[in-house]
């Protein structure tokens, strides 16, 4: 689940911009084999007087907060055209940040906005989708989710309970 949250001055993005950018973002994640429904994009339109940078009001500033959960950027991350393990984690992270900037530049720099981006990597075991624990990446169950573009039940073995809980339950 990537979650992209834009904090931007009112009017920075038209409705058409929002849809186009959300589609571009979703396409980027689909290219690394994530189901499209995993991708959430939320726009927070703020009065320009509510945006401060360095303690100074800045109505030309866009802040992007990204939460990535479904995959961790590493040397095994899927990159179209590159075999997993042929690049470093550091290269993968810089590559992805450059991809993000390329997606944003038409909506930020090219329009005179300043912008900042950060990514949090939430542990995958702290995430559910409509009550389901998502299947492992690249598994048959995830491929089914991707094909159906929605979560469905699948066979999963939950982690074992601690011994003390199993003993006390008897």
Tens digits of per-residue pLDDT, 126-162?
999 999 999 998 899 999 999 999 999 999 988 888 8
Instruction: Indicate the average pLDDT of the chain.
Output: 92
Q: Report in angstroms the alpha-carbon separations of 73 from 22, 102, 124.
A: 21, 18, 12
Pair 154, 135: CB distance under 8 Å: yes
Q: Report in angstroms the alpha-carbon separations of 158 from 134, 135, 166.
A: 12, 11, 14
Structural domain for 48, as ranges: 2-168
CATH of the domain at 24: 3.30.429.10
**pLDDT score recorded for residue 73:** 76
Tens digits of per-residue pLDDT, 27-48?
999 988 899 999 999 999 999 9
Place of tokens 């048959």: 140
Q: How many domains does the chain have?
A: 1
* Residue 162: DSSP 8-state: P
Taking the C-alpha atoms of residue 62 and residue 68, their distance in angstroms, rounded to an integer, is 19
Tens digits of per-residue pLDDT, 73-104?
776 676 777 777 788 889 889 999 999 999 99
- pTM higher than 0.85 for the full model? yes
């Amino acid at each position: 689940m990537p979650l992209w949250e834009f904090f931007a001055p009112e009017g920075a993005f038209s409705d058409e911009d929002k849809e186009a950018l959300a589609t571009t973002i979703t396409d980027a994640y689909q290219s690394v084999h994530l189901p499209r429904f995993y991708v959430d994009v939320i726009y927070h339109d703020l009065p320009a007087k509510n945006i401060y940078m360095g303690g100074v009001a800045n109505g030309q500033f866009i802040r992007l907060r990204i939460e990535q959960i479904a995959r961790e950027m590493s040397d095994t991350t899927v990159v179209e055209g590159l075999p997993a393990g042929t690049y470093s984690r550091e290269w993968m992270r810089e590559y992805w940040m450059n991809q993000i900037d390329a997606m944003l530049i038409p909506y930020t720099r090219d329009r005179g906005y300043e912008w900042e981006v950060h990514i949090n990597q939430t542990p995958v075991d702290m995430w559910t989708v409509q009550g389901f624990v998502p299947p492992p990446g690249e598994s048959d169950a995830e491929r089914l989710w991707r094909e159906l573009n929605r979560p469905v039940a699948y066979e999963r073995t939950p982690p074992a309970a601690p011994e003390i809980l199993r003993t006390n339950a008897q």
